[in-house]
Amino acid sequence: MEEWNNVYEQICERLRNHSYKLTPQRQTILKTFLENIDQHLSAEDVYQLVKNQYPDIGIATVYRTLDILAELGILQKNDFGDGRSRYEFSSRNEHHHHHLICLRCGEVAEFDDDLLESLEAVIFKRSQFKVMDHDLKFFGYCQKCQGTLS
């Protein structure tokens, strides 16, 4: 828990350094992501989770806060092809993990093995282009949904 408190404090400091106020609503949204660290939350998901604590919070406030957090590199904004942006904590100093997206139920799982390092080396050798990050998504059917395919 102490590790999460440190992460939370670093995020709060980054907001303050960019002249953003740390409102109770923003604090609640940040804590929602910390409490759901393994999830890929949409603005609507966040809204449903925070409105219990702040019944007067509007969906527009959630969208604005998510935009700010993504702009500052705190959150990574993802498009999984379902018409909704989803957010997760950003990993600036390392390659981003890959996503496995079920076409039936919409479940998103993470795949952490970076099997593209050799391709990046070839890219650099041939073109002198240094890859800093990449984004790879696999679309298919999760184990649960495979059993329901006819």
Q: What is the pTM of this model?
A: 0.68
- The answer to whether residues 127 and 59 belong to one domain is no
Measured between alpha carbons, how far is 29 from 23 in angstroms, rounded to an integer?
10
Output the average pLDDT for the chain.
Answer: 84
Does 45 score more than 90 pLDDT?
yes
CATH code for the domain in which residue 25 is found: 1.10.10.10
Query: Based on C-alpha coordinates, what's the Rg of the chain?
Result: 18
pLDDT at 22 over 80: yes
Q: Which of 43, 62, 89 is the last residue of a domain?
A: 89
Q: Are residues 64 and 12 in the same domain?
A: yes
- Model pLDDT for residues 66-121, shown as the tens digit of each residue: 999 999 888 889 888 788 899 988 764 455 677 888 888 888 887 777 678 888 88
Q: Where in the sequence is the domain holding 135, given as residue range(s)?
A: 98-146
- State the pLDDT at residue 92: 47
Check whether residue 77 and residue 112 sit in a common domain: no
- The answer to whether residue 1 scores a pLDDT higher than 70 is no
Integer angstrom CA distances of residue 8 from 45, 61, 63, 109, 118 = 20, 20, 20, 24, 35
Distance in angstroms (rounded) separating the CA atoms of residues 134 and 98: 9
Given a cut of 60, whether residue 37 has pLDDT beyond it is yes
Q: Which among 89, 109, 135 is the end of a domain?
A: 89
32 and 72 both lie in a single domain: yes
Say yes or no: 11 and 68 in one domain.
yes
Residue type at position 116: L
